[in-house]
Amino acid sequence: MSTGIDEKMDPTRAHSVEADELQKRNVHQSEILVDAQLMTNAYEAENREHEMGVCDVVKTHPMACFWAFIFCFTIVIMESFDMFLNGNFVAQEAFRKRYGVMGPDGNMSIQTKWQSALFQSGQCGAFISVFLAGPITNRLGYRWTTIWALVGMNATIFISFFANSLAVLTIGQTFEGVPWGIFIANSPAYASEVVPLVLRGALTGTLQMSWSIGGIIVAAATYAPFALQWIFPTPLLVLVFFAPESPWWLIHKGRKEEALHSITRLGKKSDENSEQTLAMMDRTVEIEIMTGGQPTLLDLIKGTDLRRTIITCLIYASQNFAGNLIANQTTFFFEQVGIGWFGRRTIYLWGTAFNMTMLLLLGVCASIKQNTSTNYAQAYLGVIISFVYAGTLGTISYSIIAETSSVRLRALSTGIGRAAYYVAEISMIYLASRLLNPTGWNLFGKCGYVWGSTAAVCWVSAYFVLPELKHRSYCEVDILFNCKVPARKFKTTVIHI
C-alpha cells in the first residue's frame, strides 16, 4: 500500500509513516492483504464508487436507500414521543386536570419540578443506553439490536399508558429513553454502512429530517392519547426484521457469505461487482482488525482513534451550542441544502459562522430600545437561525458523525458521541432556563450574545480539528488519520491505494 500526498507535504515522509504503522502491527502478514485477486477486486470496487454519480447510485441501490431511511425513521419515534410528553401534551387541559395541582389563580397546573422531571427522565434513560448500544450492536448486529429496542419500546409504553401518577409517568419515560438511545446511536452508523460513498452524506442527513418529522407529528397529535405511541414501533419492527444486516458488521464477524448476500440485496449489482465490493470491505476491515484488534470502549481514546472520538463528540455536543436551542423554540424548517455540492467541513463552518452572526445580531436587537419592529426582528431572526441550523450544521453533523470513526469502532463511537450531546444538552437547557426565565436572569433576546459566543468556540474548534471527508472511502479515511494529516489538508491530500 502506498500513499501519495499533495505538493504541500513530503510524499516520502507520508509513505514511510503509513508503512511503519502497518509494519509495526504486522498488517502486511495478513493472508487477505497478500491475496492479489482480492486486492485487485478491492481497488476496482473503490474506484467504481468514486466514479459513480448520485443518479447512478440511486438507480443501482434503491433498496440501500430504502433501508437506510427506515433505520433513520426510528428517530421519529424518539423525538415525537419526547416532544409529545414534554411539550404539547403536558400543556393539555385534560393532562393538567389529571396530574396537576390547584394554583393560586384557581387553575390546575403541573408543578415545575415534575415538568423538569418529565423532560429529563427520557434523556437520562437514553444517556445510559448510548453506552450500551455499541457493545450490544457489536455482539448482535444493527438489525437485531434495533429489533429488540423496538420490542422494548412497545413494552415500556405500557408504563406511561397506565400511569396513575407523575412519579410512575416519569419512570415510564426513563424506561422509554433506553430504546431511544439505541435508535440514535445506531441509525447514523447503519445508514452510512449500507449506502455507497456518494450517498452517505444525503442519507445520514435525513436524520435531521426525522427530527423535524417528529415535531410535525407532535403538532398534529396534540389532542391524542398516550396510545398513539404504539403507532410506529410495530410496523417499523416488521420492516427492520426483513432488513439486511450491515455487510461491514458481518465481515467483522467472519460471516462473508452473509455479507455478500446483504451486498446483493442492497443494490442491483452483478455477481462480479458484488464480489469486488465484498473485497473492498474485507480489505478495510482486515487492516483495522490487524491494527486494533477487537473493539472496546477503551479503544476510543487510544492512538489516532482518540482524535476521531474528539471530533465525533465535538460535532454532537456543538449542536447545543450553535443554534439548536434557538431553533427548537421556533417552527422547524428543514432542507438538505448543499450536501451534494459542498463538503462537510465547508457546510459546517459556514453554517456555524452564519448562525453565530445571527445570534449576535439577535442580542443587538434585544439591547436597543424595544418596540414592535425590534420584536418582529427577533422573531424573524429566530426563524432564520432555525432554518439555517436545520439545513446546514444540523443536517451535516450526522454525516460527519457517521463517517469520522473507523468501521471497527463505529457502533461505540456514535454512542459515546451521543452521550456528549446529552451532557451538553442538560447543561445548556439549565442555562437557557436561567437566561430566559423572568425570575432568573431575564435576558430574553440578549441570550443571543451567549449562544453567539458558544457558537464562536465551536467554529474555532471545528476549523482546527474537523477534516473534509466528502468523497473519501473508509479505507482512505483510515489512512489519512493514521498518517496524522492536518484537518485542513484532508481535502487536498491525494491517496494512491
Give the integer Cα–Cα distance in Å for 427 and 425: 5
Highest mean pLDDT range out of 69-83, 130-144, 427-441?
A: 130-144
Please check the confidence at residue 129 and state whether its pLDDT lies above 90: yes
pLDDT at 329: 42
**Per-residue confidence band for 197, with pLDDT thresholds at 50, 70 and 90:** confident
pLDDT at 332: 29
Task: Confirm whether 262 is domain-assigned.
Answer: no
More confident residue, 341 or 253: 253
Mean predicted confidence (pLDDT) in 42-69: 85
* Same domain, yes or no: 317 and 171: no
| Lowest-confidence region among 20-34, 53-67, 439-453 | 20-34
* Same domain, yes or no: 208 and 314: no
Query: Between the CA of residue 308 and those of 15, 305, 412, what are the distances in Å?
Result: 21, 5, 12
Please check the confidence at residue 366 and state whether its pLDDT lies above 60: yes
* Same domain, yes or no: 315 and 227: no
Please check the confidence at residue 244 and state whether its pLDDT lies above 90: yes
Collapsing DSSP to helix, strand or coil, 102 comes out as strand
Residue that finishes a domain, picked among 243, 258, 280:
243
Mean predicted confidence (pLDDT) in 232-249: 92
Give the integer Cα–Cα distance in Å for 445 and 379: 9
Please check the confidence at residue 147 and state whether its pLDDT lies above 90: yes
Q: What percent of the chain has pLDDT over 90?
A: 30
* Same domain, yes or no: 335 and 437: yes
Condensed to tens digits (0 to 9), the pLDDT of residues 305-342 reads: 999 999 999 999 988 887 665 554 433 233 333 455 68
Task: Confirm whether 15 is domain-assigned.
Answer: no
Average pLDDT over the chain, rounded to an integer? 80
Give the integer Cα–Cα distance in Å for 433 and 439: 10
Task: Confirm whether 39 is domain-assigned.
Answer: no
Please check the confidence at residue 21 and state whether its pLDDT lies above 80: no
**Per-residue confidence band for 139, with pLDDT thresholds at 50, 70 and 90:** very high
Taken in order 322, 65, 236, 261, is the CA torsion positive or negative?
negative
Please check the confidence at residue 42 and state whether its pLDDT lies above 80: yes
**Structural domain count, the chain:** 2
* Same domain, yes or no: 323 and 411: yes
* Same domain, yes or no: 231 and 370: no
Helix or strand holding residue 317 (H, E):
helix 303-318
Q: 494, 480, 472, 497: which is closest to 39 by C-alpha?
A: 497
pLDDT at 429: 75
DSSP state of 142: H
**Per-residue confidence band for 31, with pLDDT thresholds at 50, 70 and 90:** low
Condensed to tens digits (0 to 9), the pLDDT of residues 167-183 reads: 998 898 899 889 989 99
More confident residue, 206 or 287: 287
Tracing cell 434557538 back to the chain, one arrives at 326
Give the integer Cα–Cα distance in Å for 222 and 95: 11
Task: Confirm whether 400 is domain-assigned.
Answer: yes
Helices 112-140, 166-194: axis angle to 10 degrees equals: 40
**Per-residue confidence band for 466, with pLDDT thresholds at 50, 70 and 90:** very high
* Same domain, yes or no: 162 and 303: no
Task: Confirm whether 271 is domain-assigned.
Answer: no
* CA-based R_g, the chain, Å: 24
Please check the confidence at residue 210 and state whether its pLDDT lies above 90: no
Q: What percent of the chain has pLDDT over 70?
A: 79
Residue that finishes a domain, picked among 199, 221, 243:
243
Please check the confidence at residue 494 and state whether its pLDDT lies above 60: yes
The CATH number of residue 357's host domain is 1.20.1250.20
**Per-residue confidence band for 8, with pLDDT thresholds at 50, 70 and 90:** very low
End-to-end CA distance of the chain: 6
Residue 405: left (phi > 0), alpha (psi -120 to 50), or beta? beta
Task: Confirm whether 32 is domain-assigned.
Answer: no
* Same domain, yes or no: 302 and 207: no
pLDDT at 462: 94
Please check the confidence at residue 439 and state whether its pLDDT lies above 70: no
Q: 448, 491, 497, 493: which is closest to 466 by C-alpha?
A: 491
More confident residue, 49 or 429: 49
Residue 153 half-sphere exposure toward CB, CA atoms < 13 A: 30
* Same domain, yes or no: 419 and 358: yes
Query: Whole domain around residue 385: which residue ranges?
Result: 295-466
* Same domain, yes or no: 305 and 453: yes
- Residues contacting residue 275 through CB under 8 Å, at least 6 positions apart: 41, 260
* Same domain, yes or no: 225 and 302: no
* C-alpha cell, 47: 474506484
Residue that finishes a domain, picked among 243, 263, 286:
243
| Lowest-confidence region among 172-186, 257-271, 482-496 | 257-271
pLDDT at 84: 55
Task: Confirm whether 75 is domain-assigned.
Answer: yes
Q: 443, 420, 163, 181: which is closest to 316 by C-alpha?
A: 420
* Same domain, yes or no: 105 and 183: yes
pLDDT at 79: 60
Task: Confirm whether 479 is domain-assigned.
Answer: no
125 φ, ψ to 5°? -60, -40
Please check the confidence at residue 347 and state whether its pLDDT lies above 60: yes
Please check the confidence at residue 437 and state whether its pLDDT lies above 60: yes
Collapsing DSSP to helix, strand or coil, 101 comes out as strand
